[in-house]
């Protein structure tokens, strides 16, 4: 009798544990299936779950904008790239940590962090994506400058009026309103939509 009772309790315990685990998996699956990925301005939906606590937690994130999440992820990716390359010197035609130029720098960022292939030179990079006004700049946009009669320069907009680039002084951040770059500003392009 005790043996049967013990066996029954074990079966009930396993069934309850499995049932609870299955419920958690189904809830997570429902959340995953209903999460919208893509448009930066889409907001998360409210999800149907069986638990009042889960509903409360999900309702707390209901109005979080995916654009904010995308910007945080993009900022993290760009900053990771910066910290990896920040001590690299400038070298015209360079494309390695022994020396890199501005267009190779932007090309590597887009390929390594966003899995997007862009052309190698500044003159070809300025033809891709969508042309945008300086006032419309967003994190990750390319900014272009005419730095001489034939010379062109490119960097990646980082927000708050600054851009990251491989300058003559190496990989660094610079303000767009710095007199030289303010005067040399040419155009901007949005590659990542």
15 plus 42 within the same structural domain: yes
pLDDT at 70: 65
Whether the pLDDT of residue 52 is over 80: the answer is: no
Tokens representing 97? 């940590």
Question: From its phi and psi, is residue 99 left (phi > 0), alpha (psi between -120 and 50) or beta?
Answer: left
Question: Which one-letter DSSP state was computed for residue 149?
Answer: S
pLDDT at 193: 82
- The count of C-alpha atoms lying within 13 angstroms of the C-alpha of 72, restricted to the half-sphere facing its C-beta, is 6
Instruction: Answer with the one of 64, 79, 101 that is the final residue of a domain.
Output: 64
Mind listing the pLDDT tens digit for each residue in 124-156? 999 999 999 999 999 999 999 999 999 999 999
174 plus 80 within the same structural domain: yes
Tokens representing 178? 């710095």
Q: How confident is the model at residue 15 (pLDDT cuts 50, 70, 90)?
A: very low
Q: What is the mean pLDDT of residues 74-90?
A: 96
167 neighbors 175 (Cβ within 8 angstroms): no
pLDDT at 14: 45
pTM, full prediction:
0.65
The span from the CA of 121 to the CA of 107, in Å, is: 9
Whether the pLDDT of residue 30 is over 50: the answer is: no
Say whether 184 sits in a helix, a strand or coil: helix
Residue positions annotated with a catalytic role: 102, 153, 165
Instruction: Answer with the one of 40, 64, 88 that is the final residue of a domain.
Output: 64
84 plus 110 within the same structural domain: yes
104 plus 156 within the same structural domain: yes
| Residue 80 domain boundaries | 67-190
Whether the pLDDT of residue 28 is over 80: the answer is: no
pLDDT at 119: 97
Which phi and psi (to 5°) does residue 146 adopt? -100, 105
- What's the total number of domains in the chain? 2
Average of per-residue pLDDT values in the chain: 76
């Amino acid at each position: 009798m005790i043996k049967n009772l013990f066996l029954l309790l074990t079966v009930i315990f396993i069934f309850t544990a499995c049932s609870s685990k299955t419920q958690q998996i189904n809830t997570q699956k429902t959340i995953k299936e209903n999460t919208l990925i893509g448009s930066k301005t889409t907001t998360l939906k409210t999800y149907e779950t069986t638990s009042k606590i889960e509903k409360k937690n999900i309702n707390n994130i209901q109005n979080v904008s995916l654009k904010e999440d995308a910007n945080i992820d993009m900022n993290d990716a760009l900053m990771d790239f910066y910290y990896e390359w920040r001590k690299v010197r400038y070298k015209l035609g360079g494309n390695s940590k022994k020396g890199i130029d501005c267009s190779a720098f932007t090309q590597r960022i887009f390929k390594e962090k966003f899995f997007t292939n862009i052309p190698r030179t500044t003159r070809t990079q300025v033809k891709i994506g969508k042309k945008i006004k300086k006032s419309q700049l967003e994190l990750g946009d390319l900014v272009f400058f005419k730095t001489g009669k034939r010379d062109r320069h490119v960097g990646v907009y980082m927000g708050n009026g600054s851009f990251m680039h491989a300058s003559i002084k190496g990989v660094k951040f610079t303000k767009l309103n710095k007199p030289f770059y303010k005067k040399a500003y040419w155009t901007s392009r949005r590659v990542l939509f």
